[in-house]
Structure 1
Amino acid sequence: MKSFKFFVGVDVSKSTLDFSIYQFENLVYHKSIPNEILDIKEILKEFKQIPTYKNSNTVFGMENTGVYCNLLISVLQKAKSNFTVENATHIRNSLGNIRGKTDKIDSQRIATFLFKNRDRLNFWKPKRPIIEELKNLTTLRTRLSSIQVALKTPLKENAIYISKTSTKQHQSICQNTINSISSDLENLNNLIKSVWSSDEKIKNLMKIITSVPSIGEVTALHIILNSNEFEDIKTGKKFACYAGVAPFHYKSGTSVSKKTRVSNIANKKMKTLLHMCAVTAMRSSVEMKDYFIKKTQVEGKNKMLVLNAIRSKLILRVFSCVKANRLYECENFNTDG
């Protein structure tokens, strides 16, 4: 267990980085700099002027703000610094009731979080380059798909409420753009498939996951990326919690007794993909269709509750197959419950 003396909270934004250094519980330094590689290198040199400061007795922390963290991470990684990239909600909830918000205050709160949790910090570990590449490509695919839906949906809805002449005019104006986006999506999908097909580990995982009925390639790839090839999330139950599928009790004493329900803290994109898989399974799989009818019509359970149970079953089947490193076989799984 490393013993740290300095705790550096970094508030990351698109343009700036705010550094607050705590020596145990005392603020000893604060500075805001541009989010540029040269500026980051310079401030790391400046830190060395602080008495007793060393790279080995210091830990850095930042919120996960996506690509805005990349420059800082690359510099810290080359400097072999100790650092962690935490979920913003996790940091905020760990600090109790908080009021006010500025970049300086946020960096101080991150430093406080580091000090309070110094014995159980999860240090950043680099992911394989191909995982980062696939993450960037799938993010681009999501962005293009959203634009396509944003164009198509209003055109379809307007056809009901406006004249046919206006409808045809709008469709004619947007058609080239829609066709272009569709072409880009097709090319992007082919590129994504060629990338993961070139890697034996991911290719094998994709084969195993898609062997589970109703799990397609898009969902399978998202499961691999979000679990970091099943290295960061190793069990089906943890992934169900991450995807917002796991139910939680809300009871306390005799005065609080709410329905068991899923948490709103979840990866919504992953949850949406799993929901579509569950609907497909309920419609196309005789086993799942019978299960849905039994639970809703015979036992009288809520339809969404049963669909959520099907989502959980799919997750557990995926993780069971990956753990055993084999394809899905129906007779090996019991779906009662």
Structure 2
Amino acid sequence: MEINHFIGVDVSKGTLDFSLAQLGKVVYHLRVPNSNTGIVSFIKEIKENFNVDLSFTIFCMEHNGIYNNILLSFLKKLKTNIWVESALQIKQSQGMMRGKNDKVDSGRIAMYAYRYQENYIPWNPPREVIIQIKQLLAIRSRVVEAIKQLSTPIGKDAEIFFAKGDLKLSRKCCDCSIKAMKKDVKAIEKQIKDLIQSDTYLNNLLKIITSVDGIGLMIATTIIVTTNEFKNFSCAKKFACYSGVVPFEHSSGSSIKKRPRVSHLANKTVKKMIHLATLTGIRKNGEFRDYYERKKAEGKHTMSVLNAIRNKLILRIFACVRDNRLFEKKHQILLA
């Protein structure tokens, strides 16, 4: 498909900055309210003044969370080409830059789409049930963080720094709140489970993922939402890289030689979840624990061994999803 126009959009809470690139040059800019009315006014302008055919146009924007929702919903109805790209990816592709504002940023996004159009990946909208689960996961995360904040100053270590009477009072004040929030967490998890069980495909996907040792409801749900039901990620190695568990070499000639390290450019939430699954796997008797102890006895670094297990978990999950089957030990390849 030949693309004739590239539109970069800088999205903010209240406004949308549109820049139109044609023949490798930004030829038009317009700022409109972040609303359906604003989007309609921009599309009307470019159709009248630049003879834009939306079927041969790409709208490119950065991941901006909920601020993108109005624009994405509108463009989805128009069935035009949508490209939602990582802000860091766009920034690093620009080289050295000086200064920024919304107008400049939208122009840079438009030129990014023009220069790298061969890398265009169509936006794959999540289903409504995935959006609902994602919102519940976000709320759960906030409640868990609040529990952590309330629990920290009244932990066992606090006994050293507080008088007994003060410590007892602090615990009494927070106990009810902590108990109530823990009930909220359980209620949220039940809502998530009910939503998944109400959807045949998701319920089957959950059973497959949780059949892998160490993977529970919340870890499986996070993976399902992050991969958009494995539509955005079909390759286990790419997802492992995205999750920050793939080590990369750092060397240059004979003067610079560092031990391979994982990149800090990763989805930290997924990485944390996979790490928790790994710790669960090595705590109980089984192959992961045997593998961990064997590699430690060989002198391997602890984090290197844990990272290897994290990779194995991801590979197993993707293999089972690909083959649409539950994980069975008799099917596994023996750990090296």
Per the shorter chain, which TM-score range? over 0.9
CA displacement 1:170-201 (0-9 Å, x = unmatched):
22332332233222212111111000011111
CA displacement 1:247-288 (0-9 Å, x = unmatched):
111223222211111111111011101111111111113322
Query: Which whole-Å CA distance do the structure 1 matches of 2:309 and 2:122 have between them?
Result: 35
C-alpha deviation, 1:211, in angstroms: 1.0
Query: Which whole-Å CA distance do the structure 2 matches of 1:321 and 1:115 have between them?
Result: 38
**What aligned pairs does 1:1-337 form with structure 2 within 5 A after superposition?**
1=1, 3-156=2-155, 157-297=157-297, 299-337=298-336
Aligned length: 335
C-alpha deviation, 1:334, in angstroms: 2.7
After TM superposition, the score normalised by the length of structure 1 is: 0.94
Q: Structure 2: 5+ residue runs without aligned partners?
A: none
CA displacement 1:108-159 (0-9 Å, x = unmatched):
1101101101233112122222112211111111121112212111222534
Query: Which whole-Å CA distance do the structure 2 matches of 1:47 and 1:150 have between them?
Result: 51
Query: Which whole-Å CA distance do the structure 2 matches of 1:151 and 1:227 have between them?
Result: 32
> Matched residue of 1:10: which SS?
strand
Once the two structures are overlaid, the 10-residue window that deviates more, 47-56 or 134-143, is: 47-56
Query: Which whole-Å CA distance do the structure 2 matches of 1:16 and 1:58 have between them?
Result: 21
Letter in 2 for 1:134: I
Once the two structures are overlaid, the 10-residue window that deviates more, 95-104 or 189-198, is: 95-104
Q: Structure 1: 5+ residue runs without aligned partners?
A: none
Query: Which whole-Å CA distance do the structure 1 matches of 2:315 and 2:55 have between them?
Result: 41
User: Do the aligned partners of 2:26 and 2:110 also contact (CA within 8 Å) in 1?
Assistant: no
Query: Which whole-Å CA distance do the structure 1 matches of 2:169 and 2:35 have between them?
Result: 47
User: Do the aligned partners of 1:41 and 1:75 also contact (CA within 8 Å) in 2?
Assistant: no
Query: Which whole-Å CA distance do the structure 1 matches of 2:226 and 2:13 have between them?
Result: 24
Once the two structures are overlaid, the 10-residue window that deviates more, 275-284 or 161-170, is: 161-170
C-alpha deviation, 1:73, in angstroms: 0.6
C-alpha deviation, 1:168, in angstroms: 2.1
C-alpha deviation, 1:36, in angstroms: 2.0
* Pair 1:51–1:37, CA change in 2 (3 A): closer
Root-mean-square deviation over aligned CA pairs: 1.6
> Matched residue of 2:121: which SS?
coil
User: Do the aligned partners of 2:124 and 2:232 also contact (CA within 8 Å) in 1?
Assistant: no
* Pair 1:50–1:316, CA change in 2 (3 A): same
User: Do the aligned partners of 2:25 and 2:111 also contact (CA within 8 Å) in 1?
Assistant: no
> Matched residue of 1:4: which SS?
coil
